[in-house]
Amino acid sequence: MNKKEKFIIRGLGGKRALKGRVSLNGAKNSALKAMAGAILFEGKVELNNIPNTEDVHTLNDILVDLGAKIQWKDNDPSSKTLYIDASTMNKTDINSEKAKVMRASVVLTGPMLARFGKVSFPAPGGCVIGARPIDLFIEGYKKMGATVRLQDEIYYIECPKLKEAEINFEKITVGGTETLMMASVLISGKTVLKNCAKEPEIVNVASWLNACGADIEGVGTDTITIVGTGGHLLKPQNSYRAIPDRIEAGSFLFLGALTAEELYIDNCNPEHLSLVIDLLKNSGVSIDIVDDKTIKITNSQNVENKSYRAFNVTTKEYPGFATDLQSPLVTFLTQCEGESAVTETIFEGRFKYVNDLVDLGARISVIDNNKAVVSGPTPLYQSQDNHLTAHDIRAGFAIVLACLIAKGNFTISNIHLIDRGYESLETRLRAIGADIRRE
């Protein structure tokens, strides 16, 4: 990861001139959990369609530090196939520095407690989008009989034998659902998780675990029941394959609507995008679902770049509008006719990028830190300071999109944050005609 790298972008000045195809990667927020799930297995597992992104490499490093054997097929991350053998793991203290960088590392604690009976890890710091506590994880572990100690910002969790429990999440938590689901896979007895998250990424991981001997029911609904194997590790008789990244797909839908004459999005799953597609169609975007893996966006060139219609959105847990698409959505809404209100209900600090859009000419006001009111359409242009910064993965994409539709030349720093969730973004954008390079 080179923290000094920047994107240099020449904007399209409102023209919808890009043309071609982008192919989606495997879902980061599924792949990371499957990598953690490898700890539940007696031998080497095969994970396919793994995105070659920073977060995957960070989790790789953490697992290697714990003693696991990890290898990309042909030693090449572009193979998208990863082999993990957890049988050589010889440590239960998770590397603090690496784990602090990536909150998803907390998901390791479930499988590690299940297999080794203890784990220590750094209290995940908040990040730019919010405090991101782990109280719901800790409460769940205590219900399963674990002792939890926090000392000098390190959690020490012990439980030689996790026991069955009924856990009712006070808040819907994606990571909490996945982590306690995996913690329960090897126990003796039945655990019931209530008020669960229903994301397709959780279904993706659970289906793989079930294909290898786990007994998990109800994933994708708000109640998940896990009957443990009684201490037997899972057998790697089936490989895992990450589902297409629906957040990447949604990001490219917004990009295509504002910058492309014609854009195909390949290797996607339109079923996971129905809400976004309906909202964009109602706004006037021409979207065709070509087949079960391909979406096409067209902007008829003979008609003056007519504005799309504004609309309101409230972010919600799946199947509601994804919080991870909130920032690309707001960039899109700056180009829509009328006033839009976007209400963020999942994280408490996810509008920090708005100031950058306002600097580019957008008309947005943030109310009570959880609602952005956008008035459009506003042309975006280079202000005196054309240097912008990515605040988090998704806000970084939103800023790239804003620079692409603006008139002028722009530099975006902190792009390693974008690399955490979007593999080779500039390469894929250049392939459809965008003037963007990495320096």
d(CA 254, CA 333): 9
Burial (0-12, 13-18, 19+ Cβ within 10 Å), 217: middle
CB of 127 to ligand EPZ, least distance (A): 8
- Residue 240: which region, alpha, beta or left (left: phi > 0; alpha: psi -120 to 50)? beta
Which residue shows structure tokens 């229903």?
Answer: 198
CB of 93 to ligand EPZ, least distance (A): 21
Query: Which C-beta is closer to ligand EPZ: that of 136 or that of 336?
Result: 136
Query: Which C-beta is closer to ligand EPZ: that of 205 or that of 406?
Result: 205
Query: Which C-beta is closer to ligand EPZ: that of 85 or that of 392?
Result: 392
d(CA 170, CA 163): 20
Provide the binding-site residues for ligand EPZ, judged by CB under 6 A.
28-29, 32, 103-104, 130-137, 171, 173-176, 197, 323-324, 346-347, 393-394, 421
| Residue 167 and residue 141 in contact, taking contact as beta carbons nearer than 8 Å | no
CB atoms within 10 A of CB 290: 12
CB of 367 to ligand EPZ, least distance (A): 19
CB of 275 to ligand EPZ, least distance (A): 14
d(CA 135, CA 240): 30
CB of 326 to ligand EPZ, least distance (A): 9
Active-site residue identified among 127, 159, 196, 268? 127
| Residue 98 and residue 64 in contact, taking contact as beta carbons nearer than 8 Å | no
Q: Cite the beta strand spans of 353-423 per DSSP E.
A: 363-367, 371-376, 387-389, 409-413
The CA–CA distances, whole Å, from 423 to 11, 173, 393 equal: 21, 26, 11
β-strands 363-367, 371-376 pairing: antiparallel
Residue in the shown chain whose Cβ atom is closest to ligand EPZ: 175
CB of 62 to ligand EPZ, least distance (A): 13
Query: Which C-beta is closer to ligand EPZ: that of 136 or that of 372?
Result: 136
Closest Cα partner for 134 from 193, 185, 178?
178
Query: Which C-beta is closer to ligand EPZ: that of 135 or that of 288?
Result: 135
Query: Which C-beta is closer to ligand EPZ: that of 137 or that of 311?
Result: 137
CB of 197 to ligand EPZ, least distance (A): 6
The DSSP element (H or E) to which 168 belongs, if any, is strand 166-168
Query: Which C-beta is closer to ligand EPZ: that of 140 or that of 376?
Result: 140
d(CA 117, CA 162): 7
**Catalytic status, residue 196:** no
Grouping H, G, I as helix, E, B as strand and the rest as coil, residue 368 is coil
**Catalytically annotated residues:** 127
